[in-house]
Amino acid sequence: MGEPFLLKYIHERDQGDLAAYESRGGYAGMRRGLSMAPEAVIDEVDKSGLRGRGGAGFPTGRKWKFIPRDPAVTKYLVVNADEGEPGTYKDRTLMEGDPHRLIEGIIIGSFAIGARQAFIYLRREFADARAALTKAIAQAMAAHYLGRNILRTGYDLEIILATGAGAYMAGEETALLESLEGRRAMPRLKPPFYPAVKGLYLQPTAVNNVETLCHVAWILAKGHEWYKAQGAPILISVSGHVERPGVYEVPLGTTIRTIIDLAGGMRRGRKFKACFPGGSSSAILTDAYLDTPLDYDALPKVDVPGTMLGSAAVIVMDETACMVEIIARTVEFYRDESCGKCTPCREGTVWIGQVFHRILHGQGRSEDLDLLSGIAKGMTGTCFCPLGESVPPSLNASLRFFRHEYEHHIKTGTCDVKGHRARP
């Protein structure tokens, strides 16, 4: 394992300036990429083994190979900068701290797939990132890294900074494209609307996450062999009951336990209770799973259905967390963010929300736990998109591991978690 590099410069105050960025080796990946054949660039990314960091973990090189090569077909690259998965904040950190890295990754990716326009769909609340990217794009334009005939290669590229408007659903790639076309952020039917086939304006489109494209800039600068020797780094957003919440760069496959240690251990020496290993869309895990490697293949293999690496956001809970309240909060989130397109998600989240409401207000009934499992079962595999499918995993896992907490709430109308403060 090498030194961290994705986060290496984010605290340098002048990293957002082109000159400083280049003095630290920036845009070397772009220069190398543009001197290669587009297919060779894709090969380089493919060989690196890079998998998308937005949540689905699809191999980036393979995604780009799906884009038709025909030069007569207009293609687009769209950057998913809508970071909204609860607990995730690494993309914002990268854009604020190292904005040129993303621009460099966009140039390389666009060149590789033959796109002449790239769009950054940036979350509206990211004002600092917007300022940093606006400046980086202007500087890259002035240096002829964007615009016409970039570095005299004959390649043209324009980057357009677009805006989100507050909708978690817009982070899903097909809903994002709807939103970018100025409509409600509702997901499209796959097939036929795989972005690589029919994407933005129904043209072939690569949708890539911010962190993914930052990796691409490094891979092209240093080569896939160097990159792999670093142990396939990944950014983990750690939050909750740890001493030092933050974004940590570690090799893929680092265990949950090691991540918590890196984050300074449990807050005030308290005991670990559970965590979401990959944002709120992944099932929660207990202390029996602390030695599970955070990796795309290992997490889905544990015996808790719906566990995944997702956006690599580890949300840590200590013994003072009331699991009924936590799961209620996640359900409310998905209920409020549901786009309403399909019934299992639209209705299921409301029903589950109602059951939680009465359990937390001392009106739970003995049959409520079976009811929760039943609704969760009805939502599993029936939702139109992954948003609705994100509800059952943690609900089921909490019913399995913390059933006694639910039962206590139902029987007594109170919470028996020591040190827990109920929601005011």
Ligand X SMILES: Cc1cc2nc3c(=O)[nH]c(=O)nc-3n(C[C@H](O)[C@H](O)[C@H](O)COP(=O)(O)O)c2cc1C
The least CB distance from residue 117 to another protein, in Å, is 7
Q: Identity (one letter) of the amino acid at 213?
A: L
- Residues in contact with another protein by CB under 8 A are 83-89, 91-92, 117, 123-128, 130-131, 160, 162-168, 179-185, 201, 237, 239-241, 245-247, 276, 280, 313, 315, 317, 321, 325-326, 329-330, 333, 336-337, 339, 421, 423-424
Q: Is residue 190 near ligand SF4 by the rule CB under 6 A?
A: no
**Using the rule CB under 6 A, which residue among 345, 375, 376, 417 binds ligand SF4?**
345
Q: 73 to 92, contacts with ligand X by CB under 6 A?
A: 80, 82-85
* 158 close to 147: Cβ distance less than 8 angstroms: yes
Rounded Cα distance between 121 and 172, Å, is: 12
- Binding pattern to ligand SF4, positions 298-337, x when CB under 6 A? ----------------------------------------
With CB under 5 to 8 Å by kind, the binding choice for 346 among another protein, ligand SF4, ligand X, none is: ligand SF4
Instruction: Say which entry of another protein, ligand SF4, ligand X, none residue 384 contacts (CB below 5 to 8 A, set by partner kind).
Output: ligand SF4
CB of 83 to ligand SF4, least distance (A): 18
- Strands 272-276 vs 313-318: parallel, antiparallel or unpaired: antiparallel
Rounded alpha-carbon distances, angstroms, from residue 342 to 84, 89, 224, 385: 21, 29, 42, 9
Q: Which of residues 211-230 bind ligand X (CB under 6 A)?
A: 212
CB closer to another protein out of 43 and 319: 319
3-state secondary structure of 123: coil
Structure letter (DSSP) for residue 47: H
Choice from 33, 187, 195, 306 touching ligand SF4 (CB under 6 A): 187
* Footprint on residues 188-207 left by ligand X (CB under 6 A): 207
* Cα dist from 24 to 17, 35, 221, 389, whole Å: 11, 20, 12, 43
Which region, judged by CB under 6 A, interacts with ligand SF4, from 74-82, 268-276, 282-290, 339-347? 339-347
| 3 state DSSP class of 278 | coil
Closest to 28 in 3D by CA, of 61, 53, 5, 54:
5
The Cα 290–Cα 292 span in angstroms is 6
Running DSSP on this structure, what letter comes out for residue 284?
P
**Alpha helix (H) residue ranges in 76-230:** 90-97, 99-113, 127-142, 173-180, 210-222, 224-229
Residues contributing to the site for ligand X (CB under 6 A): 52-56, 58, 63, 80, 82-85, 169, 171-173, 207-209, 212, 385-387
